[in-house]
Chain A
Amino acid sequence: MNEIIESVKNLSIGFNSQKGKQISILRNVSTNIKKGETVGIVGESGSGKSTLALAMMGYIKQGLFPLKGECLFKSEDLLKMSSRQLEKIRGRKIAMIPQNAGQALTPNLKIGYQIDEALRLHTDLNKTERDKKISELLNKVRLPSPETMAFRYPHELSGGQQQRVAVAMALAGKPDLLLLDEPTTGLDVTTQAHVLELLRFIAKDTGTSMIYVSHDLGAIAQVSDRIVVMYAGEIVLEGPARKILKEPIHPYTYGLLKSIPKLSLAGLPASMPGSQPQPGSINEGCSFYDRCNLATDHCKKNSPDLEHIKELDTNVRCFNHKELINQNNNLQTSITKKSNNSEAIEVLKLKDVSISYAKQKFFDQLLNKISDQNPTVKDINIDIKKGETIALVGESGSGKSTILKSIAGLLKTKDGQIKFENDRILSSDLKMRNPNDLRAIQLIFQNPDESLNPNHTVEQILSQPLKLYFNLSGEELKKNIIDLLKKVRLGEFYMSRYPRQLSGGEKQRVAVARAFAAKPDIILCDEVTSALDVSVQAAVLNLLQQLKEDLGTTYVFVSHDLAVVRAISDRVAVLYQGRLCEIGPSQNVYKFPSHPYTEVLLGAVLEPDPDIKPKLVAEDIVEEKPPEKGCSFQGRCPRKIGDICNLEVPPWQIGENGNAIRCHINIDELASLQQ
């Protein structure tokens, strides 16, 4: 068990800047991977975790090169090997499971061929033995009908299935070490939990060592024996998983854990100020100095070394780590948020809304109607009160973003009405809305990289809504822009910056400011934090909450992340295949009794705690279309009672906690089943 498989020694990797300076991305990293051990490497984007992982396969991305140090695999330096030698090791001794299997599988080659290729390269099996091995492998990763699966092309599989194929391909060469680069990022919550469970099983079954790279402490917590925390290209904390997650003695890890929203915890997570320094900007002192609340003058001048703490079996890079030991009992706290008063009036009502993506047939086009018996979104009834945050949750394909687009007027509804203020019907066509309604409803998008015009300065971006809706110009316009920037905690000097000069969090702040520029009544937030790092996510969530408390804005918040939703929302609506399953005050939706789908979703959430294991109660099948009759969740429901689920649309039942559940099972019975 204590045999070391791979050992990284004083590794630095960097690139030459345009000014000819050497800039390091990885700085002096040393770590060991033992046989049979799973090591989690965690860090935010830009921390160098992927560069480290790839270097452990002897792969350096184009433009980068090793500055010093070595990567010893069974005491041979991978970084000094020829490509011939590396071909013998990659896939056979060390195999990779990539982040996005959909893009990592070659599109023109069948699944079977791609696995066969690995077998041909790394085993001595003949054709018939290989064919047998392929279905064995596909079976091992629990793919349905492994015999026919081999003849399919990558694009014919769902995201979860593609990821499983990538796992099968990696296992083909019977490697000693598996490298996993964010293998579950981008998958749905339930799929993610299933893939993780499979990986854990494989680690145990084959005794393979694993390096699991992720930004997601929840996923890391589920699989790792040991955790390495990276920050700005350095290891800042390293030790047994349980110790790192429960008693983090580095202020960055502590802050990171605090900024993760947790299911068990109402209220907003605490955010860390600032962002990770850019490579090359650290000259002296501790790289975490700017964001650390324990920092002293000593930290500014001197950079700490990795110090071994014997009693915790942990390495830490901090002068003041002793002070943190006492703070750790605060890990399970959050910032309480003000809830709105429930007496408030309703500003937006969705009444029997159905939305269809079906193409209009020729005659329907003439009659201007949509005849789709089974629309993507159906029978949505939601009343939204002034000043509340209502969240729409569900996996991909649940119709949550579709509903948001219809409220924004970007997508026509098929049936039903959207009523705004005093029951006035709002046209679902953007062109038919009056300017004031357009102003009153604003949208913030998921990815600020794509929603901000790269050729506009922040000033130009923010002046557009101000000019359009309020006809401002000159000094007054400028004053308003500065006010807006102040509201989202950005300084005046940001006005002349272009989006590319901002960090991810800053960009999303500009997007938030742009939405607030219109002084809207309702802001639609479409997965606004999913492209952000955890610590930045916490800051944006806190910002949104603060603005809401100050200005009384109403949010419709779409997210796939149940913990984020728990943190920010007052009420939650759970959607499956475009149909409502459950709706109610958020503290109650997260308690039982729940709709079986909510139960499945809650069970699959990964908490950054090795003691809380996900509960997998339903298969992670992907349904392409909602069923034509009966309950929308009939295909995957773990509590299905029989034909009634297939034939009849379940009735709404109101629980004693005030949450409404749409299920054929009596609500009290559900409660006792879910105990």
Chain B
Amino acid sequence: MLLLILKRIGLGLITLFIVSLITFVGVEVLPGDACTTYLEREAYGAALDACIKRLGLDVPAYERYLDWASNVVRGDFGYSLSGEMPINEVLGPRVKNSLVLASVSILIGIPLAIVLGIITALWRDKLPDIMISTITIFSMTIPEFISATLLILIVAIWLGWLPGIVIIPSDATFYELLSNIILPVVAISMIMTAHMARMVRSSVIQVMASDYVQMAILKGVPYWKMVFRHVLPNALLPAINVVALTIAWLLGGVVVTEVVFNYPGLGRLVIESISNRDLPVVQALAIILASIYVGINLIADLMTLMLNPRLKSLQIRK
């Protein structure tokens, strides 16, 4: 078991290494470099030379990669070009903001999705299912930039209940944030909950049709007891991986929603740094987002392994 965990962690690290190489090479082969971007029209003569020297662009690429990589391992992403401040300082508040948005969405969205999924499955083809399923399919098919815009139009402009866009400094406190994120959370949850509820629904339906559920009924197990002991543990197991992907997607920044609501999270930072050609920040973001994906999927795999007796004993026997 321990060996397996180590193996998975090792694989994750290799993935991260490859991601870092690809982003580094990608940045290298782009025409121009940090200095030409930074200096724009003044990128000639002495100013350019001085810049190149200052940023250390005169050394060979592999040396710069090694230098950069060893700094990253130590947690130092270097300097941002546009603001000329340490990237860590740029990232810090953004990560926090994204975390707040993601965790609130997760706390609301995932339990809601599971409950809705179970309700629709147990009352399959009856009124609750038809109603909830219609709504979920509807909110699944509307792209988030439309649903987000509609929310702003209705709630913020017509009704005037909540601010339409988030106008807060990127280092706002948690409480300041909370009142501002209601609309973004609703927009994100709509799509996320719908997807997950559909998945939970089909998973529960599949388990309800299994031989062991029929057996439990014929054994005289009362309905709700059967649902909680025989159905849900087996039906929710495959949901873990989907939940993990959703969480990773949320933490990685919900780009469109953040842009629509002007929310200072990681997703908007990605867009901003790409359009500013702030290459060190792009590199740093790539590594961070990849780490989030790898880390969360690792946790999900291990959880599945722990909770599924079939996989667990398979591993122990090996």
B220 to chain A, nearest CB (A): 3
Chain B residue total in the interface (Cβ 8 A): 23
> In the bound complex, do residue B218 and residue A105 qualify as a contact, i.e. CB atoms below 8 Å apart?
no
Q: Of A54, A90, A103, A117, which is within 8 A of B212 by CB?
A: A103
B172 to chain A, nearest CB (A): 45
Residue of A nearest to B215 (CB): A104
Q: A62-99 vs B: 1/0 string, CB under 8 Å? A: 00000000000000000000010011111110011011
> In the bound complex, do residue A105 and residue B220 qualify as a contact, i.e. CB atoms below 8 Å apart?
no
Enumerate chain B residues within 8 angstroms of A54, measured Cβ to Cβ. Answer: 218
A333 to chain B, nearest CB (A): 40
Alpha-carbon distance A122/B220, docked complex (angstroms): 8
Q: Of A57, A96, A107, which is within 8 A of B310 by CB?
A: A107
> In the bound complex, do residue A106 and residue B220 qualify as a contact, i.e. CB atoms below 8 Å apart?
no
- B residues 208-248 with Cβ under 8 Å of A? 210-212, 214-223, 229-230, 233-234, 237
Enumerate chain A residues within 8 angstroms of B212, measured Cβ to Cβ. Answer: 103-107
Q: Tell whether A98 pairs with B308 under 8 Å between CB atoms, given A89-B220, A156-B313, A173-B220.
A: no
Alpha-carbon distance A57/B230, docked complex (angstroms): 20
Q: A134-173 vs B: 1/0 string, CB under 8 Å? A: 0000000000000000000101100000000010010001
Q: Tell whether A90 pairs with B217 under 8 Å between CB atoms, given A103-B210, A107-B309, A108-B234.
A: yes
Enumerate chain A residues within 8 angstroms of B211, measured Cβ to Cβ. Answer: 98-100, 103-104
Q: Tell whether A87 pairs with B313 under 8 Å between CB atoms, given A104-B212, A106-B216.
A: no
Enumerate chain B residues within 8 angstroms of A100, measured Cβ to Cβ. Answer: 211
Alpha-carbon distance A429/B283, docked complex (angstroms): 48
Alpha-carbon distance A102/B89, docked complex (angstroms): 57
Alpha-carbon distance A98/B216, docked complex (angstroms): 11
Q: Tell whether A59 pairs with B219 under 8 Å between CB atoms, given A103-B211, A105-B212.
A: no
> In the bound complex, do residue B233 and residue A108 qualify as a contact, i.e. CB atoms below 8 Å apart?
yes
Alpha-carbon distance A104/B214, docked complex (angstroms): 8
B272 to chain A, nearest CB (A): 47
> In the bound complex, do residue B313 and residue A57 qualify as a contact, i.e. CB atoms below 8 Å apart?
no
A92 to chain B, nearest CB (A): 6
B89 to chain A, nearest CB (A): 47
> In the bound complex, do residue A153 and residue B218 qualify as a contact, i.e. CB atoms below 8 Å apart?
no
Enumerate chain B residues within 8 angstroms of A335, measured Cβ to Cβ. Answer: none
The verdict on A644 contacting chain B, using a C-beta distance below 8 Å, is no
Enumerate chain A residues within 8 angstroms of B223, measured Cβ to Cβ. Answer: 83
> In the bound complex, do residue A153 and residue B309 qualify as a contact, i.e. CB atoms below 8 Å apart?
yes
Enumerate chain A residues within 8 angstroms of B219, measured Cβ to Cβ. Answer: 90-91, 95-96, 117-118, 121, 169
> In the bound complex, do residue A87 and residue B310 qualify as a contact, i.e. CB atoms below 8 Å apart?
no
Residue of A nearest to B317 (CB): A156
Residue of A nearest to B230 (CB): A106
Q: Of B210, B222, B233, which is within 8 A of A87 by CB?
A: B222
Enumerate chain A residues within 8 angstroms of B308, measured Cβ to Cβ. Answer: 108
Enumerate chain B residues within 8 angstroms of A95, measured Cβ to Cβ. Answer: 218-219
Enumerate chain A residues within 8 angstroms of B229, measured Cβ to Cβ. Answer: 106, 109, 117
> In the bound complex, do residue A153 and residue B310 qualify as a contact, i.e. CB atoms below 8 Å apart?
yes
Enumerate chain A residues within 8 angstroms of B310, measured Cβ to Cβ. Answer: 107, 153, 155
| A-B interface pairs (CB < 8 A), number | 79
B99 to chain A, nearest CB (A): 33
Alpha-carbon distance A404/B191, docked complex (angstroms): 51
Residue of B215, B223, B229, B307 with most partner-chain A CB within 10 A: B215
Interface SS of chain B: helix
A280 to chain B, nearest CB (A): 24
Enumerate chain A residues within 8 angstroms of B215, measured Cβ to Cβ. Answer: 96, 98, 104-106, 166
Enumerate chain A residues within 8 angstroms of B214, measured Cβ to Cβ. Answer: 59, 98, 104
> In the bound complex, do residue A91 and residue B313 qualify as a contact, i.e. CB atoms below 8 Å apart?
no
Residue of B221, B229, B237, B307 with most partner-chain A CB within 10 A: B221
A263 to chain B, nearest CB (A): 32
- B residues 300-318 with Cβ under 8 Å of A? 307-310, 313
> In the bound complex, do residue B309 and residue A87 qualify as a contact, i.e. CB atoms below 8 Å apart?
no
B304 to chain A, nearest CB (A): 12
Alpha-carbon distance A238/B206, docked complex (angstroms): 38
Enumerate chain B residues within 8 angstroms of A103, measured Cβ to Cβ. Answer: 210-212
Q: A392-414 vs B: 1/0 string, CB under 8 Å? A: 00000000000000000000000
A16 to chain B, nearest CB (A): 15
A18 to chain B, nearest CB (A): 16
> In the bound complex, do residue A90 and residue B234 qualify as a contact, i.e. CB atoms below 8 Å apart?
no
> In the bound complex, do residue A90 and residue B218 qualify as a contact, i.e. CB atoms below 8 Å apart?
yes
Enumerate chain A residues within 8 angstroms of B221, measured Cβ to Cβ. Answer: 87, 91, 117, 121
Alpha-carbon distance A579/B192, docked complex (angstroms): 56
Enumerate chain B residues within 8 angstroms of A92, measured Cβ to Cβ. Answer: 220
Alpha-carbon distance A511/B309, docked complex (angstroms): 39
Enumerate chain A residues within 8 angstroms of B220, measured Cβ to Cβ. Answer: 86-92, 118, 121-122, 173
Alpha-carbon distance A99/B218, docked complex (angstroms): 13
B32 to chain A, nearest CB (A): 45
A232 to chain B, nearest CB (A): 25
> In the bound complex, do residue B230 and residue A109 qualify as a contact, i.e. CB atoms below 8 Å apart?
yes
Residue of A nearest to B229 (CB): A109
Q: Tell whether A91 pairs with B218 under 8 Å between CB atoms, given A106-B230, A106-B234.
A: yes
A118 to chain B, nearest CB (A): 6
Q: Tell whether A107 pairs with B218 under 8 Å between CB atoms, given A153-B313, A155-B309.
A: no
Residue of A90, A103, A106 with most partner-chain B CB within 10 A: A106
Q: Of A59, A98, A108, which is within 8 A of B309 by CB?
A: A108
Enumerate chain B residues within 8 angstroms of A156, measured Cβ to Cβ. Answer: 313
Alpha-carbon distance A99/B313, docked complex (angstroms): 25
Enumerate chain A residues within 8 angstroms of B222, measured Cβ to Cβ. Answer: 87, 121
Alpha-carbon distance A89/B221, docked complex (angstroms): 11
Residue of B nearest to A122 (CB): B220
Enumerate chain A residues within 8 angstroms of B218, measured Cβ to Cβ. Answer: 54, 57, 59, 90-91, 95-96, 98
A442 to chain B, nearest CB (A): 35
Residue of A nearest to B222 (CB): A87
- A residues 23-37 with Cβ under 8 Å of B? none
Alpha-carbon distance A109/B307, docked complex (angstroms): 11
B193 to chain A, nearest CB (A): 26
Alpha-carbon distance A104/B234, docked complex (angstroms): 13
Alpha-carbon distance A117/B313, docked complex (angstroms): 23
B179 to chain A, nearest CB (A): 42
Residue of A nearest to B232 (CB): A108
Alpha-carbon distance A107/B309, docked complex (angstroms): 8
Q: A112-127 vs B: 1/0 string, CB under 8 Å? A: 0000011001100000
Residue of A nearest to B209 (CB): A62
Alpha-carbon distance A276/B100, docked complex (angstroms): 65
Alpha-carbon distance A100/B215, docked complex (angstroms): 10
Enumerate chain A residues within 8 angstroms of B309, measured Cβ to Cβ. Answer: 107-108, 153, 155
Enumerate chain B residues within 8 angstroms of A106, measured Cβ to Cβ. Answer: 212, 215-216, 229-230, 234
- A residues 628-658 with Cβ under 8 Å of B? none
Enumerate chain B residues within 8 angstroms of A121, measured Cβ to Cβ. Answer: 219-222
Alpha-carbon distance A88/B222, docked complex (angstroms): 9
Q: B275-292 vs A: 1/0 string, CB under 8 Å? A: 000000000000000000
Alpha-carbon distance A109/B221, docked complex (angstroms): 14
- B residues 45-101 with Cβ under 8 Å of A? none
A482 to chain B, nearest CB (A): 41
Alpha-carbon distance A232/B233, docked complex (angstroms): 39
Residue of A nearest to B219 (CB): A91
Alpha-carbon distance A197/B40, docked complex (angstroms): 90
A573 to chain B, nearest CB (A): 32
Residue of B nearest to A96 (CB): B218
Contacts A59-B218, A87-B220 supplied; 4 other A-B pairs, CB < 8 Å: A100-B211, A153-B310, A155-B309, A166-B215
A-B contact pairs, 8 of them (CB 8 A): A59-B214, A86-B220, A103-B210, A105-B212, A105-B215, A107-B310, A109-B230, A121-B221
Q: Which 5 A-B pairs have the closest CB atoms?
A: A91-B220, A90-B220, A103-B211, A104-B215, A96-B218
Write the residues of chain A forming the contact surface with B, with a CB cutoff of 8 angstroms: 54, 57, 59, 83, 86-92, 95-96, 98-100, 103-109, 117-118, 121-122, 153, 155-156, 166, 169, 173
Write the residues of chain B forming the contact surface with A, with a CB cutoff of 8 angstroms: 210-212, 214-223, 229-230, 233-234, 237, 307-310, 313
